[in-house]
Structure 1
Amino acid sequence: MRPVRSALAGALFAALTLAGCGQSSPASAPSQTLSPTAPAAATPSAGFPVTVEAGNGPVVVAKRPERIVSLSPSATESLFAIGAGPQVVAVDDQSTYPAEAPKSDLSGFKPNVEAIIARKPDLVVVANDIGGVVAALGKVGVPVLLEPAATKFDEAYDQITDLGDATGNGDRAAELVAGMRKRLDEITAAAPKDAKLTYYHELDTTPYSVTSDTFLGQIYGLFGMTNIADKAPDPAGGYPKLSAEFVAQADPDLVFLADTKCCAQSRETLAKRPGWSRLSAIKNDRVIPLDDDIASRWGPRVVDLAEQIGDAVQKVSAG
């Protein structure tokens, strides 16, 4: 979403264009650098107020927030990556990274408005507006950024930019996005592209998978592989439930498991499923265990996921 600065702030900061969700120059104007030696440390509200165009529309942040509550694991990772960690006072019970994040019993799936308010936040970040939490917090004057699940890379970059602008860490956010773009380009350039390679990405043991239209599917698409789930009935809009027979018949060259932590899945457990012991990926040791958290978020570590996929493709292509 586009951050839009006030006229005064726009005059103070130079524009930096980012290719995220059709941003204009004012949308990506960086805020003051907040390193320990920067002048901004003495004037923490320099560049504020700022208006950020989030999923819930324009959100005004009057001053540099010092008590941020994150109810989104992806946002938590991004906040710490851009240097806003010291401003975060609480994160939800699913925010497992980084280790120093102040994890609490707050829930992003069942948000308790009273419990959130008790943390005295001056900014709340959510990925879902469950139970009308955005409006409820708005009634008591707490600004809320709704940053829903990204559906493409530009949206992920744009959300990092949003968080940078909203927290006074715009320069760090711009550096992070530029670094992510550069590293992704390097990873995809180094990996071979082989459309003949097929893959299966497992979300859980049901088993649900993802199509090429999803955010995850687009990451795999960078490496030219064919997704077996694209041919499955897809009533869930990008997340088809596959039968064991479907996967066995498709016989993918590679299997990526995003249910290693939640469900303890591995090459060995897959081999025990009916008909799966004969899968090429199992016989040829091409089952790649992923970190469930990294594979389900759209923050900075999405580049780590792309690197792991690229390494797997490189290994198979090298024979």
Structure 2
Amino acid sequence: MAVLLALTALAVSATPANGAAAAQSEWPRVVTDALGRAVVIPAAPRRIVAIFSSNVEMLAAIGAGPEIVAIEAWTRYPPEIVARAGRVGGRLGFSVEAIARMDADLVVMTPARQAAAGMVDPLGRIGVPALVLTHRRLDDILGNIRLLGRATGHDADGDAVAAAMAARIDHLRRCLSGRPPVRVYLETGSDDRGAAFTLRDDTYTGDILRAAGGVSVFAGRDRLGRVSGEAVWQADPDMILVAGTPAQAQALTTRPGWGGINAVARGDVAAVSRALLLIPGPRVVDGAWMLARLLHPAAFAAGGACAAAPQSVEGAGG
């Protein structure tokens, strides 16, 4: 799939070999964001506000973590950034005034929770570049990591992290080649009224499930939707995965009527990390390997085709 976001660099003649911020002579740079806006970045950013966990994780992975001065209240990773960074908003919205007080020279955000709609224009009026990213598919995540590398002057590290992620996914696909996909019901959430929710097929989570040798029993749905125990029973998955805690996975097995689902009766129910599956950042590749180990354990046994895993993404950048 072609990456949705394109980037044009102005006056860039070389990439720093050590992955550090580019020389001042290579600036300004112009990048095109997910809204199709040409965003001018006058100089290598030194005070970045990163809104939403995905953007914080991508910036940290490419070596721009030290430049992050503020985040939103619901970001949890990486812990060293969470511990020191300021806050510019949360569930109830975001504050352009707080960003201005941070003396920010770049804001990175996604459109969720009206962040882009409420902040792009005000930030433009006060002269703070705002870069809006969307992370719909796995290829978008890779492209956005490269884009952030160029937007922040961490060109080499952005390219290295994206290349390492792609290599690990390719390795996983190759070592699972020839194995029939495991039919999975992946529950992404539930509520106290008995509603359960599963993933959309055309998302980065759907992409990593397929890379891990799985396929959603509800593949083909065009939206994230409620599902019932009866629908899961009719779909008859090989395995049920719950994005959450072991206690949440155990609770699923006690729901009225769910005990009659074959996967529940067999005990083929497991908890999987929400952070590795539902936050579109570098760790989704770890999520793919986590899923693959659950779905195809024989491939990871001693002598199995996937027993030798390549380097983790966290070691790829500078």
1:6-25 pair list within 5 angstroms? 6=10, 8-9=11-12, 12-13=13-14
Q: Which amino acid aligns with 1:123?
A: L
Q: Deviations over 1:144-177 (max 9, x none)?
A: 01012x2222211110011101111010010111
Aligned partner of 1:221 among 210, 213, 237: 210
Aligned partner of 1:72 among 45, 52, 60: 52
Q: Secondary structure at the match of 1:155?
A: helix
Match of 2:31 in 1: 52
Match of 2:251 in 1: 269
1:106-255 pair list within 5 angstroms? 106-107=88-89, 110-128=93-111, 129-130=114-115, 131-148=117-134, 150-191=135-176, 193-195=178-180, 197-205=182-190, 206-230=195-219, 234=221, 237-255=222-240
Given that 2:7 and 2:32 are in contact with CA atoms closer than 8 Å, whether structure 1 keeps it comes out as yes
Q: Which amino acid aligns with 1:72?
A: F
Tell me the TM-score normalized by structure 2: 0.82
Q: Distance in 2 between matches of 1:53 and 1:108?
A: 26
Given that 1:195 and 1:226 are in contact with CA atoms closer than 8 Å, whether structure 2 keeps it comes out as no
Given that 2:189 and 2:197 are in contact with CA atoms closer than 8 Å, whether structure 1 keeps it comes out as yes
Match of 1:282 in 2: 264
Shift of 1:106: 2.7
Given that 2:212 and 2:289 are in contact with CA atoms closer than 8 Å, whether structure 1 keeps it comes out as no
Shift of 1:318: 9.1
Tell me the TM-score normalized by structure 1: 0.82
Given that 2:68 and 2:85 are in contact with CA atoms closer than 8 Å, whether structure 1 keeps it comes out as no
Match of 1:295 in 2: 277
Given that 1:82 and 1:172 are in contact with CA atoms closer than 8 Å, whether structure 2 keeps it comes out as yes
Q: Deviations over 1:187-246 (max 9, x none)?
A: 222225554631111111131111322221122122453322236xx5xx4312111211
Q: Secondary structure at the match of 1:238?
A: coil
Shift of 1:34: 4.9
Match of 1:61 in 2: 41
> Structure 1 residues 318 and 302 mapped into 2: Cα distance closer, same or farther (>3 Å)?
closer
Q: Distance in 1 between matches of 2:229 and 2:64?
A: 44
User: Which range moves more in the overlay, 219-228 or 206-215?
Assistant: 219-228
Given that 2:173 and 2:213 are in contact with CA atoms closer than 8 Å, whether structure 1 keeps it comes out as no
Aligned partner of 1:256 among 241, 263, 270: 241
Given that 1:193 and 1:223 are in contact with CA atoms closer than 8 Å, whether structure 2 keeps it comes out as no
Q: Which amino acid aligns with 1:125?
A: V
> Structure 1 residues 46 and 310 mapped into 2: Cα distance closer, same or farther (>3 Å)?
farther
Given that 2:213 and 2:295 are in contact with CA atoms closer than 8 Å, whether structure 1 keeps it comes out as no
Q: Which amino acid aligns with 2:96?
A: V
Given that 1:33 and 1:170 are in contact with CA atoms closer than 8 Å, whether structure 2 keeps it comes out as no
Aligned partner of 2:7 among 3, 6, 25: 3
Q: Deviations over 1:61-81 (max 9, x none)?
A: 000110000002111001111
Given that 2:176 and 2:213 are in contact with CA atoms closer than 8 Å, whether structure 1 keeps it comes out as no
Given that 1:32 and 1:171 are in contact with CA atoms closer than 8 Å, whether structure 2 keeps it comes out as yes
- Count of matched residue positions in the alignment of Structure 1 and Structure 2: 286
Gaps of 5+ in 1: 14-30
Q: Deviations over 1:92-117 (max 9, x none)?
A: 12221111114444336511211222
> Structure 1 residues 215 and 112 mapped into 2: Cα distance closer, same or farther (>3 Å)?
same
Given that 1:79 and 1:163 are in contact with CA atoms closer than 8 Å, whether structure 2 keeps it comes out as yes
Higher relative contact order (CA 8 A, sep 6+): 2
Q: Which amino acid aligns with 1:100?
A: E
Runs of 4 or more consecutive aligned structure 1 residues displaced over 4 Å after TM superposition = 192-196, 316-319
- Higher strand content, 1 or 2: 2
User: Which range moves more in the overlay, 102-111 or 282-291?
Assistant: 102-111
> Structure 1 residues 153 and 196 mapped into 2: Cα distance closer, same or farther (>3 Å)?
closer
User: Which range moves more in the overlay, 252-261 or 47-56?
Assistant: 252-261
Q: Distance in 1 between matches of 2:89 and 2:298?
A: 41
Given that 1:69 and 1:123 are in contact with CA atoms closer than 8 Å, whether structure 2 keeps it comes out as yes
Q: Deviations over 1:248-267 (max 9, x none)?
A: 22221111211339xx512x
Gaps of 5+ in 2: 302-318
Given that 2:233 and 2:262 are in contact with CA atoms closer than 8 Å, whether structure 1 keeps it comes out as no
Q: Distance in 1 between matches of 2:206 and 2:50?
A: 26
